Amino acid sequence: MLIGNVVEGVTTRDGWVKGAAGPIEMRIYRADCTTGDRLPLVIFLHGGGWVSGKFVSHDWLASSLARQSKSIVISLAYRLAPDHPWPAAAENAYAGMIDVVQRADAFGADSSRVAVVGDSSGGNLAAVIALMARHRKGPKISFQGLMYPATDLMLESPSIDAHDDAPILTKADVIAVVDHYLNGADASDPYVSPLRANSHSDLPPALIQVAEYDPLRDDGTRYAAALQASGVPVRLTTYVGQPHGFISFPHMSSAASQAIAEMAAELRVALSS
């Protein structure tokens, strides 16, 4: 498969967590080489424009993170548009995170060492639930890993026009999935567009990875600047020559493994005991 399979040496099992409107599915990834009763916990949210995607589409990515970061990675499903427009995905992701953190011991995870990671629309949701956790007084998140995230659904990033006909994701694609997701909701709401939050202070430290030939590139660079301006430690990496979604195509892009290694290294440091 172009998107890759679960990497060797990682065990998976599926289960359910409490969502905002009923149970949602999850997949747990744990590297066979990890030892100890309580490992760091990484909540992973998959991309797919809020309209598609599930565990299988991100098995390689999530399992690679689990093995290299030596963490328990739990990939959460969430309700997809257009059947379930905003705020369904965001509220389900937040509710699922709370349930996972509360049951961390059952997964062999440490509830005091939690990170959120997501790619594309999943990066949007990871940033959003970090905001929610700050506003709603928990749970404590130690790190956010955002892979080419969508942070401004008002679509005002210059790269959207600069790379309107890019491979993998075009401007027309962005407009279509945003329309499905919002269904008329206010794009300036910070739980839609985390870049639009009144304040970015006291958010978790972040690694933001962007691709050079990506309409969403400047969503990531602008969010990094906003975090930095608010005193949040942030590292921004631009992967030269890469299109949107490259991390999910390990057999097509040699940069995919590099990006995973960078994210895993940041997770290890941020979640060290």
Per-residue pLDDT tens for 184-196?
A: 999 999 999 999 9
Phi-psi region of 79 (alpha: psi -120 to 50; beta: other; left: phi over 0): beta
Number of independent structural domains in the chain: 1
Average pLDDT over residues 199-204: 98
Q: What percent of the chain has pLDDT over 70?
A: 99
Per-residue pLDDT tens for 52-66?
A: 988 888 999 999 999
Q: What is the pLDDT of residue 1?
A: 44
Q: Are 28 and 95 in contact (CB under 8 A)?
A: no
Q: Is residue 1 part of a domain?
A: no
Q: Is residue 147 part of a domain?
A: yes
Asked whether residue 37 carries a pLDDT value surpassing 80, the answer given is no
Q: Is residue 83 part of a domain?
A: yes
> What's the length of the chain?
273
Q: Is residue 3 part of a domain?
A: no
CA 54 to chain centre: 13
Write out the catalytic residue numbers: 120, 214, 244
Q: Is residue 2 part of a domain?
A: no
Q: Are 209 and 237 in contact (CB under 8 A)?
A: yes
Q: What is the pLDDT of residue 2?
A: 54
Per-residue pLDDT tens for 98-156?
A: 999 999 999 999 999 999 999 999 999 999 999 999 999 999 999 999 999 999 999 99
- For 222, the enclosing helix (H) or strand (E) is helix 217-229
Domain at 25, CATH number:
3.40.50.1820
The residue segments making up the domain with residue 51 are 10-270
Q: Is residue 4 part of a domain?
A: no
Q: Which residues of 174-208 are buried (b: 16+ CB within 10 A; e: fewer)?
A: beebbebbbeeeebebbbbbbbbbeebeebbbbbb
The pair of structure tokens assigned to 82 is 């257009």
Give the Cα separation of 61 and 69 in Å (integer). Answer: 12
